[in-house]
Structure 1
Amino acid sequence: MFKESRMARVRQVQVIAHRGASGYLPEHTLEAKAMAYAMGADYLEQDVVLSKDDVPVVLHDIHLDTVTDVAERFPDRKRSDGRFYAIDFLAEEIQSLRASERFHHRTGKAVFPDRFPPHTGTFQVPTLADEIQMIQGLNKSSWRSVAIYPELKQPKFHHDEGKDLAGIVLKELGKFGYSSKTSPAVVQCFDETELRRVREELGCDLTLVQLFSSADWMTKTDAADERRKRLATVAEYADGIGPSIDAVFLEDPLGGVPIGSSLVVDAHAAGLIVHPWTFRADAFSSMFKSFAQMHQAAVLAGIDGVFSDFPDQSVKFFENIAAE
């Protein structure tokens, strides 16, 4: 379990910079990560996929055509489905692309219209090594210990393509000293079979977090026994869970601050930390009256950490709540 002995807690609820300070700068760029670092985030997240030459690159998904100009630069490199896959490009080619604020690959329009303008700037897709070197450099110069939080993206897709994403990423992390229970690193994944493999077959001793989308067993009142069994199974190989927000909070019937679901209590009873996703100031659930109320609800629910697109605001809200 990821407890105080693994890493000193900075505040009651820790802040994971979701794809960096992605509410302000294009996601997963080094600029977004440096900004999140300066904003006081406890963790910086890295979604990781592989290039054709087996280099781990930091990219939210296996496609390049929603965050780069790949369709303009390499129009003939798309697959039969019309999409451009990172795994079909050398790392050098990927880093030659201009990274952008996320946009719809068909229309070119921004996913979040009020954020950084898409198709502008001179940003790049970093390799995992590039990002770790920057974070470790900042940790040295800033006398801090900001942790990394890599996610293994679609490991089954990589296996089907003949590549072991987890094995390659763990080897890369080991090169930079992330290999023990005390390392300031968390590895996350949606694939339950693969995350168990990471622990049991690949012998990873880092903190592991099992990601989940919303599912009936997580929230239904009559699924309490199933929920506890599932969480007990997760606790056999992982240290925490990363559920979606709608599985963690329930509307207050009296119209007050949304309350924590039984999932949080049951997860803690199983020895698991809880890191829900995603806190967005420009796209929060209608059950909340404000972005500030989301943070208040997180504290009241006993949540351990949150993924936030706006790490400065999350840090400020949690620090202010703690000071009250």
Structure 2
Amino acid sequence: MNTKIVIAHRGASGYLPEHTMEAKAMAYAMNPDYIEQDLVLSKDDVPIVIHDIELDDVTDVAQKFPERKREDGRFYVVDFTFDELQQLNVTERFNTKTGEQVYPNRFPKGKGNFKLHSLQQEIELIQGLNASTGKNIGIYPEIKNPRFHHENGKDIAKITLDILSEYGYKTKKDKCMFQCFDAKELERVRTELQSDLFLVQLIEFPEETKQLSHFATYADGLGPWYKQILDKKVDGKWQFTTLVEDAHKLKLQIHPYTFRADQLEEFSSFEEMMQVLFFEANIDGAFTDFPDKMVQFLAKQ
């Protein structure tokens, strides 16, 4: 029985614009274990499912509300009400300076009719599909940039935890993993806000790997960039850092990000990437833009 888990990164984002309801429904049909939700608060405190605190690289906000940009030229989710955000069209991610699509072979930029949605709407989609299909696919929310939210007078952690609780996600037994890059905030979620959810500490910088024993005092899992696991190749075989081993000694599950079939870099194929990281490095799960490919790969093992 395979216990390694597949997390649909921003939904089936290799196929449809990230974090759209369509990308989530498609991901659901691919049978991952979890579907990810990145969260940013609107002006009226609705958690919006979007990857960044800014709107301009995945929506047409610059055309619809040109006067609403801040001094830095960017448009922020927190400056718009939920109703205003509903007026925007969502598109495949693009470079705001050049207008070019970030992943050129994905869903064409500017096509289709995609909208932003709330955490509540997405939970209702996933729970509704769990009811109608008999599956039990989980959610994997991430609160984005809590410090920015605090600076704007908003407590994204508390608001999100209250909503999760309302929908039945309260303990480690519930199919919900809660993640954040901000270690202070994630520790606050466990201690001050007293959450009993499965907490995952995201990391991206090498120095953070030295803090694992502290992370283990409040977190249940670790979400590193996959390159933090790879060391070097010797005679054509990958050698690894001690990150996975060190995490496992502290009883931390390890779920690296992000496995992309159209951005392989160190690997000759997506299958090689998955084989090396899942079975040679011994990770416990992974985030992928292509959940169908990872589900199929693990099913064959």
Residue 294 of structure 1 pairs with residue 285 of structure 2? no
Contact 1:20 1:309 in 2 (8 A): yes
Aligned equivalent of 2:195: 204
Pairing 1:197-236 to 2, within 5 Å after superposition: 197-216=188-207, 218=209, 227=210, 230-236=211-217
Pairing 1:311-322 to 2, within 5 Å after superposition: 311-320=291-300, 322=301
Aligned equivalent of 2:67: 76
Within the candidate set 37, 56, 73, 2:28 is matched to 37
Aligned equivalent of 1:50: 41
Aligned equivalent of 1:163: 154
TM norm structure 2: 0.97
Q: How far off is 1:167 after superposition?
A: 0.5
- Residues 115-167 of structure 1: CA distance to partner in whole angstroms, max 9, x if unpaired? 01111110011100000000000001111110100001000000000000101
Q: Matches of 1:313 and 1:283 in 2, distance apart?
A: 14
Q: Matches of 1:154 and 1:217 in 2, distance apart?
A: 17
Q: Matches of 2:208 and 2:104 in 1, distance apart?
A: 35
Q: How far off is 1:214 after superposition?
A: 3.4
Q: Matches of 2:12 and 2:229 in 1, distance apart?
A: 23
Aligned equivalent of 1:279: 259
Residue 141 of structure 1 pairs with residue 132 of structure 2? yes
Residue 108 of structure 1 pairs with residue 102 of structure 2? no
SS at match of 2:233: coil
SS at match of 2:62: helix
Q: Matches of 1:295 and 1:214 in 2, distance apart?
A: 22
Q: Matches of 2:131 and 2:232 in 1, distance apart?
A: 43
Q: Bigger CA drift: 208-217 or 277-286?
A: 208-217
Q: Which amino acid aligns with 2:148?
A: F
* Runs of 4 or more consecutive aligned structure 1 residues displaced over 3 Å after TM superposition: none
Determine what percentage of the aligned residue pairs are the same residue.
53
Residue 194 of structure 1 pairs with residue 185 of structure 2? yes
Aligned equivalent of 1:118: 109
Q: Matches of 1:68 and 1:284 in 2, distance apart?
A: 27
Gaps (5+ residues) in structure 2? none
Q: Matches of 2:239 and 2:31 in 1, distance apart?
A: 27
Q: Matches of 2:113 and 2:282 in 1, distance apart?
A: 41
Output the aligned Cα RMSD. Answer: 1.1
Q: Which amino acid aligns with 1:243?
A: P
Q: How far off is 1:74 after superposition?
A: 0.4
Aligned equivalent of 1:99: 90
Q: How far off is 1:216 after superposition?
A: 4.4
SS at match of 1:251: strand
Q: Matches of 2:20 and 2:217 in 1, distance apart?
A: 35
Number of aligned residue pairs? 300
Q: How far off is 1:217 after superposition?
A: 5.9
Aligned equivalent of 2:286: 306
Residue 23 of structure 1 pairs with residue 14 of structure 2? yes
SS at match of 1:232: helix
Question: 1:189/1:217 Cα in 2 relative to 1: closer, same or farther (>3 Å)?
Answer: closer
Q: Matches of 2:291 and 2:183 in 1, distance apart?
A: 28
TM norm structure 1: 0.90
Q: How far off is 1:12 after superposition?
A: 3.4
Q: Matches of 1:240 and 1:181 in 2, distance apart?
A: 12
- Residues 203-237 of structure 1: CA distance to partner in whole angstroms, max 9, x if unpaired? 1100000000031463xxxxxxxx3xx21110100
Gaps (5+ residues) in structure 1? 1-9, 219-226
Aligned equivalent of 1:262: 242
